[in-house]
Structures are given as structure tokens and as C-alpha cells.
Structure 1
């Protein structure tokens, strides 16, 4: 199962915005643990520094990610990572996270990566901790802030 990151462009943006973590396939601006892909793509066009990628398994889009430099928070951040509900619990998030960290570490200015998540999202917490992210003890907008040093 090869996982890769591809740019969001005119060929795949519509498919990307209809991915959802909701098992009933409802679409919300803010889903249970993550902003919608449509909101994220819009944000990336307004705020400089964000990279948006579709997560693929072979030729099937399984998820979305947004990462880069947050001018607002003055740090490198994994802002969004989501796997469509049909593909969760199959290892795609883990493989995608590995690729994202690898991509972010190519930037010589990036010495740490921050991520935030809902305290009730235990799957995300477990995954980030497996990759070496540590709890900073900070909570912003009701989300726990973790950091990984590169």
C-alpha cells in the first residue's frame, strides 16, 4: 500500500472537498475534530505559508493535509490531517504523517513542528506520540499543543 502526497489542483480539488470524516457523509464547515477541506483550501489561499496536499493510496484519494509556516503563530505547523471515514483505521494516517514530517524537514528553517488537536481525539494523540511529538502543556482554543523537534 503505497501512500503519496499530491498537490491540490484543478484536477482533484472537487474530489478533495467532498472527503469527510463523517460516517453518514454529511459535510460541515467544521467536522468533529477538523475543519473541512474546503475551509482549509480557502484558508491556504488567504494566509501565506500553507501547503495543501491530497493523500493518495495508489490512485485513490484517501485524505487531505495542510502544513507549513503559520505567520499567525510564528512556527511550523501541521495544521490539518484528515483521512476520509471510508479509509480510517487502515494505516493511511500513519504513512501520511511520516511523509509530511519528511517534507517539512526539508525546510532548513524548520527545527520543530507543532500540531494541535481536540483532547478527546485519542487516536490523534496516540499517533503523534508514536512519532515523538510531546505535549507542550499549552492549550489554545480548547486544543492541546504538541511539538516535535527535528
Structure 2
């Protein structure tokens, strides 16, 4: 298993927007715990500072990430991290999280990385806490806000 972060371009954007966390393979603008990849890609074109990447297991796209500096919030943030329902619980999210945080930490101004998630998303909570993110005790857009100090 080799997890890679690849740019989203004209060769893979349609595959990316049809990834979904929905076990019935339905597609929504806002899924149970995350905005759709289509919404995220559109947001990244309107708001400055966001980086979007497709998450691959070798040559198979398994997920999507959006991260960067949130001008609205004034901090570095992993705004979106999703693994398609067909590939969940296989370690892809953990490996992608490791790659993303390493990429973000290359920025000399990045000493903390924030991530927020729905309090009902117990899998995300477990993953982020095991990875070293700590609860800030704050709420961002009705989600728990966690922080990883680099």
C-alpha cells in the first residue's frame, strides 16, 4: 500500500467528485459528515489558500483532502478529509492524514494544524485523537475543533 496525494486536474476531477462516504453510493452536496468534493473544489477556486488533493492508493483514487490557510479563521486547517465508502477502515485516512500534516508543516508559518468534525463522527474523533490532535474546547461551524501542535 502506497498512499499518494495527487493534484486534481482534467484527468481525474470527475472521478473525484463522484467519490462518496454514503454506503448506498448516493451523492449529496453535503454528506452526513462532510461537504461533497464538488462543493470543496468549487470553494477552493473562490476562497484563497486552499489546496485540494486526491488521495490515491497507488493508482486507485480512494479519497479527497482540502487543506491550507483559512483566512476566515486565521489558522492552518485541514478543512476536508474524506475516504470513499468502499475504502474506509483500511488505514487510508490515517496514512493520508500523515502525508497532509507533513506537507502543511513544511510551511515555516505553520506551527499548529486545526481540524473540525461533527461530534457524532466517532471514527474521526478516534483517528484524530490517536494521531495527536487535541480538543480545543471550541466549536467551529457547529463542529468540534481540534488542534495538532507541530
Superposed CA offset, 1:29-85 (max 9, x none): 000000000000000000000000000001000000000000010100000000000
TM-score, normalised by the number of residues in structure 1: 0.99
Report whether the alignment pairs 1:39 with 2:39.
yes
- Gaps spanning 5+ residues in structure 1: where? none
- Gaps spanning 5+ residues in structure 2: where? none
* Whole-Å separation in 2 of the counterparts to 1:122 and 1:93: 14
Structure 1 residue 97 displacement after superposition: 0.3
* Whole-Å separation in 2 of the counterparts to 1:125 and 1:54: 22
* Whole-Å separation in 2 of the counterparts to 1:68 and 1:146: 15
Segments ≥4 residues shifted beyond 4 Å: none
Q: How many residues align?
A: 150
1:84 corresponds to which residue?
84
TM-score, normalised by the number of residues in structure 2: 0.99
CA RMSD of aligned residues (A): 0.5
2:66 corresponds to which residue?
66
* Whole-Å separation in 2 of the counterparts to 1:70 and 1:140: 12
Report whether the alignment pairs 1:75 with 2:114.
no
